[in-house]
Structure 1
Amino acid sequence: MAEKEGEVVCVTGASGFIGSWIVHLLLRRGYAVRATVKNLGDERETKHLEAIEGADSGLRLFQIDLLDYDSIAAAIRGATGVFHVASPCIIDQVDDPQRELLDPAIKGTLNVLTAAKNLDVRRVVVTSSISAMIASATSLADVGEDCWIDEDYCRQNGLWYPLSKALAEKAAWKFAEENGLDIVVVNPGMVVGPVLPPALNSSMQLMVHVLQGCDFSERFFMALVHVKDVALAHVLLYENTSAAGRHLCVESLSRYDEFAEQMERLYPEYKLPRFSTDKQRGSAKALAALKKLIDLGLDYTPMEQIVKDAIESLRSKGYLS
């Protein structure tokens, strides 16, 4: 029997890698899902969502613009919960960081939260990122719930995506405090695994680059997490009313070499660049942050299975031979 038969929730950014898996899980649990996309006329955004089991009766699609409050309110109206996943994810060079990344992330988040407040939504689960906590591998072992990136460092070094995630999350916490809105936040690491949309997300693109032998500096790290675990983390945070604060969501905190060794053992045909570096594992602070989701019932997929699921999905879709 479905656990949440008919309860209405809204997922922004539903067509993306994480969003589509959240929709998949919510439909399996019996929720009625209002899923937002940028363009209802684009099958690349809609077809894979409509193909999910249960979509014919439990899914309704809405077209929104993150900078258009009315379009967001139309999607949220009648929902008891919101999963705010939508945010531009551009890792490469951007021409206009304010227009392309910062405004949609920050103003879009505030529009979603304002609509949620005005329409009496019970709880909003906000998708942030580990990149809102840290900007380099040198600080990886010390990452914890109270960590934030250095905004000046990001601006000086053109790290616009981490900056957009941090500023959007800070804006969300400020809004929630000032307006009495119940929010919780997920901070995933590098999200990989089976791909539902027709295009790859930035993390899976990065994995392709790594497997094709791109040379990364020794500061590069792989804080991997399975996309299904990230989706479940969102749902657990919505359903557990005692959950509060930020939630680091990664299977492991380690340097690149550990990932390279795993890949070499599982898929020796891929020649990953190698370098000598000390492995950096999570400190007690980081492990405490990870434990919050484990205590809610999240059983992380181990790295070996994460790698296998990601590689097999990339192969099946023709991104790797």
Structure 2
Amino acid sequence: MGVLGTWESSMADLEAFRRSLVAIAAIHRRKDDEGRKTNTFLPPFDHHDEKGTLLCVTSGVSYLGLALLNHLLLLGYSLRITLDNQEDIEKLREMERRGEVRATEGRLQVIMAKLSDVDGLEKAFEGCRGVFHTSAFTDPAGLSGYTKSMAEIEVRAAENVMEACARTPSIKRCVFTSSLSACVWQDNAQSDLKPVISHGSWSNESFCIEKKLWYALGKMRAEKAAWRIANERGLKLTTICPALVTGPEFCHRNPTATIAYLKGAQEMYSHGLLARVDVTKLAEAHACVFKAMNNNASGRYICFDHVIDSLSEAENLAKEIGMPKEKICGDASNNSIQRFELSNEKLCRLMSRPLRCYSEC
């Protein structure tokens, strides 16, 4: 049923933890007020419009989930986050002790709900106006990387989340985190390849299977499953396809996704498709897209803030993640390799930013 022990005992434990978060809210609030900077990526938050609206973030202790949680709290939303097991609860407690969880002011609820359990997800979503599905997974077999079985789990989880959203009358919007890897993998043998990878691009499924790019395959199939159910059930859905998610300690905090995303890094780098996005900017993009859905903004959005297109940048990335530089650079000197261009024009227009990437803004 997606709970640890009985529902009542789990909820009692989570409620006690929620109170501990509220108890330190005043201290964190002062720090927030002193250190808060003007947000240059989002329009001013309309407090009359949505302040206090209850939203749900799945996998709330993931690298992106935590950044999104803190950003949404900053904007005035109330949040409910889903955790998968007792280990996630301990992880959140440790984050709270380190001051990584923003002041909640009683606006944070924690609930256990497994992504494999539609009924548990439906309970978690009850009363929420929107859901952010951040698609955070670890290898269930305890292996490094991202296996073919994980791609299948990814799809089933997406179907469960969308089905739970469809069953929940209060849910009006869903923002689904996909991946740029669901867009960039093309079969170079095709004669009709377009030189620009944009929000309308999809990776070639046969190519991903042939090259064993399971992460790209899982993200692509999961996103397509989400769109299928959204269209069938009349749900308002938006998907964001981020590049490699980076930020403080990203290779330690997000190891499975980092390693899995970088499978085939040599090819991405050679084709001009190896890009990264800061986790904080990605969280801002999620919030902006969600708010824009009030005005019927929808569809897919590619999100990146920098394309790694020089040898020094590739070497720096390799150093950050402790990977031999050859794993990323490869034989990038081959000028005959077809080069592509990444475009996040749709997202930049929505966020009223200059085109191509945030770092150029």
User: What TM-score comes out, normalization by structure 1 length?
Assistant: 0.76
Change over 3 Å in CA distance of 1:202–1:107 after alignment to 2: closer
Question: Superposed, which structure 2 residues align to 1:18-57 within 5 Å?
Answer: 18-42=64-88, 43-48=90-95, 51=99, 52-55=101-104, 57=106
Which residue of 154, 165, 184 maps to 1:116? 165
| Aligned-residue offset at 1:46 | 4.5
Instruction: Tell me the CA shift for residue 257 of structure 1.
Output: 2.8
Contact 1:193 1:226 in 2 (8 A): yes
Shift of 1:89: 5.7
Q: Output the CA distance in 2 between the equivalents of 1:93 and 1:262.
A: 21
SS at match of 1:225: strand
Q: 1:149 is paired with a residue of what secondary structure?
A: coil
Is 2:115 aligned against 1:74? no
Encode CA deviations 1:263-297: one digit per residue, 9 max, x unaligned. Answer: 79xx9xx99556535598754xx43xx12211222
Aligned ranges 1:1-321 → 2 under 5 Å: 3=47, 4-42=50-88, 43-48=90-95, 51=99, 52-55=101-104, 57-88=106-137, 97-98=148-149, 100-102=150-152, 104-120=153-169, 121-135=171-185, 141-195=195-249, 199-202=253-256, 217=266, 219-220=268-269, 222-241=274-293, 242-255=296-309, 257=311, 259-260=313-314, 272-273=325-326, 276-278=333-335, 283=341, 286-287=342-343, 290-297=344-351, 299=353, 301-302=358-359
Q: What does the per-residue CA deviation read over 1:113-143, in whole Å, with 9 as the maximum and x for residues that have no partner?
A: 1221221211000000011112269779531
Indicate conservation of the 8 Å contact 1:253/1:282, yes or no.
no
Q: Check the 8 A contact 2:305/2:358 in 1, yes or no.
A: yes
* Deviation for aligned residue 1:88: 2.4
Is the Cα contact below 8 Å between 1:193 and 1:227 reproduced in 2? yes
- In the aligned structure 2, how far is the partner of 1:130 from the partner of 1:151? 14
Deviation at 1:197, TM superposition (A): 11
Q: Give the match's secondary structure for 1:14.
A: coil
AA in 1 matched with 2:75 = R
The code of the aligned residue for 2:230 comes to: A
* Whole-angstrom CA distance in 2 between matches of 1:189 and 1:168: 17
SS of the aligned residue for 1:117 comes to helix
Q: Which runs of 4+ in 1 moved over 6 A?
A: 136-140, 261-264
Q: Secondary structure at the match of 2:253?
A: coil
Give the deviation of 1:232 after TM superposition.
0.9
Q: CA RMSD in A?
A: 3.7
Identical-residue share of aligned pairs (%): 26
SS at match of 1:302: helix
Instruction: Report the residue type matching 2:127 in the other structure.
Output: G
Cα separation, 2, equivalents of 1:49 and 1:187: 29
Give the C-alpha shift of residue 55 in structure 1.
2.8
Contact kept? 1:81, 1:122, Cα under 8 Å: yes
Question: Which position in structure 1 is the counterpart of 2:37?
Answer: none
Q: Classify the secondary structure of the residue corresponding to 1:78.
A: coil
Contact 1:2–1:30 at 8 Å: present in 2 too? Answer: no
Quote the Cα distance in structure 2 between the aligned partners of 1:293 and 1:44: 32
Q: Which has the larger radius of gyration?
A: 2
User: How many residues were matched structurally?
Assistant: 289
TM-score by length of 2: 0.68
- Deviation by residue 1:238-277 (Cα, 9 ceiling, x = unmatched): 101232110000123454636237779xx9xx99556535
Paired AA for residue 142 in structure 1: V
**Cα distance 1:201–1:20, how it changes in 2: closer, same or farther (>3 A)?**
farther
Q: Secondary structure at the match of 2:226?
A: helix
After superposition, the Cα gap between the structure-2 partners of 1:115 and 1:142, relative to the gap in structure 1 and judged at 3 Å, is same
TM superposition shift of 1:24: 0.6
Matched letter for residue 229 of structure 2: F
List alignment gaps of at least 5 residues for structure 2. Answer: 1-44
